[in-house]
Amino acid sequence: MLTYLAYGLAIVLGLFIIFIGARFLLVPHAAAAGYGVPAKQDGDSAYLTIKGVRDGTYGLVGLALLAFAGPRAEAWFMLVVTIAPIADMLIVLRHGGSRATAYGIHLATAVVMVVSAALLFAV
CB 6 within 8 A of CB 112: no
Span 33-52, pLDDT tens digits: 999 999 988 887 899 999 99
Backbone angles phi, psi at 82, to 5 degrees: -65, -20
User: Taking the complete model, does pTM exceed 0.85, yes or no?
Assistant: yes
Amino acid at 16: F
Rounded to an integer, the average pLDDT of 94-106 is: 97
Span 47-92, pLDDT tens digits: 999 999 999 999 999 999 999 999 999 999 999 999 999 999 999 9
